[in-house]
């Protein structure tokens, strides 16, 4: 390889350059990372180096550790071209996860594309609470033969991240046979992605999919309702980072105050939730008080506890019937 690229050196494509003989040389990993980082920084990315590493790693099918360890390695023409296209898409604001077609959630790799919201790290709290709740239901009292399965529904499943992560955790604990999991979304596109992810994680036989508005009325009540429904106020959507404009609006838009869909689900709880059931609802970090008020306005008596995430921000509403 020749020396590292100097400032102002002419580039044909992102990484290929002309050597002294006129032959095209291959750029190294380190050179491509520096070039991509510079372009993404100029385009306004908040994490240009990380983006460049993820995109180059995807293009050459290597993890980030390998990129650091082999910064002098030359990159072939096809991979350089794929990286070039990926950097251009990222410059236009497309999320890295959509470009790679992949997002890690709860230690699992999920396929992601414009059919559904990219699962967010803050939603892992909901999965952890759901696992704890199911385990408690299965272990806190004897379960003689014939005891019905614990019924769980993931409302607004999107990529299927919540339901599939939960199913995977329960399978590891050998609890999955005692649990039924329904996933619901009003968007057929999202459901098709969720099905693909369930197949990829080998839980497609354990998870049932339904296209419906919130909880299908034909379903018997659930022990556990999980929901990460849209909760962004409509007026704030245009102010979100440009990456969000690539995600489906139905996954984000919660109406004027952000709580339209969550309020409708709260109103459905008396029929949808079993007497000892629990609803775990992800909420915006500034919506705790509003959700508590919304629960207080329900006709019957319900309790609402707000749980904070690891950074102390309110993230989860735990809603149950008030005990007499
Ligand atoms: C914020 S995304 C969450 C996706 C996924 N659960 C996650 O956590 O990554 C909300 C999802 O709810 C779905 N949704 C919105 N309104 C709905 C409704 N009334 N009934 C069912 N699903 C709905 C959207 O299509 C979208 O997939």
CA of 301 to the centre of ligand 1 (A): 27
> Average of pLDDT values for 90-94?
97
> Average of pLDDT values for 62-73?
93
- Please state, in angstroms and rounded to a whole number, the distance separating the CA atoms of residues 58 and 36: 13
Name the closest-CA residue to atom 7, ligand 1: 119
Of 184, 178, 260, give the one whose Cα is nearest residue 218: 184
Q: What is the pLDDT of residue 311?
A: 87
* Confidence class for position 103, pLDDT limits 50, 70, 90: very high
Answer yes or no: is the C-beta of 184 below 6 A from any ligand 1 atom: yes
Best mutation site among 185, 189, 266, 272 for ligand 1, i.e. most ligand atoms within 8 A of its Cβ? Answer: 185
- Please state, in angstroms and rounded to a whole number, the distance separating the CA atoms of residues 232 and 253: 5
CA of 160 to the centre of ligand 1 (A): 10
| Mean pLDDT over each residue of the chain, to the nearest integer | 92
pLDDT at 12 over 70: no
- pLDDT tens digits, one per residue of 167-209: 999 999 999 999 999 999 999 999 999 999 999 999 999 999 9
CA of 248 to the centre of ligand 1 (A): 10
Instruction: Retrieve residue 217's tokens.
Output: 């009325």
Name the closest-CA residue to atom 27, ligand 1: 158
- pLDDT tens digits, one per residue of 221-266: 999 999 999 999 999 999 999 999 999 999 999 999 999 999 999 9
**Portion of the chain with pLDDT greater than 90, in percent:** 89
Alpha carbons within 13 angstroms on the beta-carbon side of residue 126 total 34
Phi, psi for residue 88 in degrees, rounded to 5: -65, -40
CA of 158 to the centre of ligand 1 (A): 5
Q: What is the pLDDT of residue 134?
A: 98
Instruction: Retrieve residue 208's tokens.
Output: 């049932």
Task: Answer yes or no: are the C-beta atoms of 70 and 219 closer than 8 Å.
Answer: no
- Please state, in angstroms and rounded to a whole number, the distance separating the CA atoms of residues 37 and 32: 8
- Please state, in angstroms and rounded to a whole number, the distance separating the CA atoms of residues 151 and 85: 45
Q: What is the pLDDT of residue 21?
A: 57
Task: Answer yes or no: are the C-beta atoms of 120 and 103 closer than 8 Å.
Answer: no
CA of 188 to the centre of ligand 1 (A): 11
Answer yes or no: is the C-beta of 228 below 6 A from any ligand 1 atom: yes
Question: Which of the residue ranges 2-6, 22-26, 90-94, 207-211 would you say has the lowest mean pLDDT?
Answer: 2-6
Those residues with Cβ within 8 angstroms of residue 145's Cβ, 6 or more apart along the chain or in another chain: none
Answer yes or no: is the C-beta of 182 below 6 A from any ligand 1 atom: no
Task: Answer yes or no: are the C-beta atoms of 75 and 27 closer than 8 Å.
Answer: yes
Answer yes or no: is the C-beta of 60 below 6 A from any ligand 1 atom: no
Q: What is the pLDDT of residue 22?
A: 54
Which atom belonging to ligand 1 lies closest to the Cα atom of 282? Answer: 8
Instruction: Retrieve residue 117's tokens.
Output: 């919201």
- pLDDT tens digits, one per residue of 255-273: 999 999 999 999 999 999 9
- Please state, in angstroms and rounded to a whole number, the distance separating the CA atoms of residues 98 and 89: 10
Answer yes or no: is the C-beta of 156 below 6 A from any ligand 1 atom: yes
Instruction: Retrieve residue 313's tokens.
Output: 């921000």
Answer yes or no: is the C-beta of 193 below 6 A from any ligand 1 atom: no
Instruction: Retrieve residue 140's tokens.
Output: 């806190």
CA of 157 to the centre of ligand 1 (A): 6
Distances (CA, A) of 68 to 11, 50, 65, 79, 88: 23, 12, 5, 17, 22
Task: Kindly report the pTM of this predicted structure.
Answer: 0.91
Answer yes or no: is the C-beta of 197 below 6 A from any ligand 1 atom: no
> Average of pLDDT values for 149-174?
98
**Portion of the chain with pLDDT greater than 70, in percent:** 93
Three-class secondary structure assignment of the chain: CCCCCCCCCCCCCCCCEECCCCCEECCEHHHHHHHHHHHHHHCCCCCHHHHHHHHHHHHHCCCHHHHHHCCCCECCHHHHHHHHHHHHHHHCCCCHHHHHCEEEECCEEEECCCCCCCCCHHHHHHHHHHHHHHHHHHHCCCCCCCCCCEEEEEECCCCCHHHHHHHHHHHHCCCHHHEEEEEEECCHHHHHHHHHHHHHCCCCCCEEEEECCCCCCCCCCEEEEEECCCCECHHHHHHCCHHHHHCCHHHHECCCCCCHHHHHHHHHHHHHEEEEEEEEEECCCCCHHHHHHHHHCCCCCEEEEEEECCCCCEEEEEEEECCC
């Amino acid at each position: 390889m020749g020396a590292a690229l100097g400032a102002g050196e002419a580039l044909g494509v992102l990484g290929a350059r002309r050597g002294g003989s006129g032959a095209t040389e291959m750029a190294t990993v380190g050179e491509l990372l520096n070039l991509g980082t510079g372009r993404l920084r100029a385009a306004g990315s908040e994490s240009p180096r990380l983006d460049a590493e993820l995109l180059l790693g995807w293009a050459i099918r290597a993890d980030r550790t390998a990129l650091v360890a082999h910064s002098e390695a030359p990159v072939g023409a096809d991979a350089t071209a794929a990286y070039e296209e990926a950097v251009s898409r990222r410059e236009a604001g497309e999320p890295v996860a959509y470009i790679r077609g992949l997002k890690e959630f709860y230690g699992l790799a999920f396929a992601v594309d414009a059919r559904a919201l990219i699962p967010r790290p803050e939603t892992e709290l909901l999965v952890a609470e759901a696992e704890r709740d199911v385990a408690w239901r299965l272990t806190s009292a004897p379960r003689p033969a014939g005891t019905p399965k614990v019924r769980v529904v993931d409302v607004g499943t999107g990529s299927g991240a919540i339901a599939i992560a939960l199913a995977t955790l329960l399978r590891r604990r050998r609890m999955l046979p005692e649990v039924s999991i329904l996933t619901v979304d009003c968007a057929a596109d999202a459901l098709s992605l969720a099905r693909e992810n369930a197949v990829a994680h080998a839980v497609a036989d354990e998870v049932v999919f339904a296209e419906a508005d919130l909880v299908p009325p034909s379903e018997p009540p659930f022990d556990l309702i999980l929901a990460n429904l849209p909760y962004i106020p409509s007026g704030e959507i245009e102010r979100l980072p440009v990456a969000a404009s690539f995600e489906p609006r139905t996954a984000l838009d919660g109406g004027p105050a952000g709580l339209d869909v969550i309020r409708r689900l709260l109103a459905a709880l008396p029929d949808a939730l079993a007497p000892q059931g629990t609803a775990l609802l992800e909420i915006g970090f500034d919506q705790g008080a509003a959700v508590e008020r919304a629960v207080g306005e329900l006709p019957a008596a319900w309790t609402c506890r707000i749980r904070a995430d690891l950074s102390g921000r309110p993230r989860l509403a735990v809603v149950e019937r008030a005990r007499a």
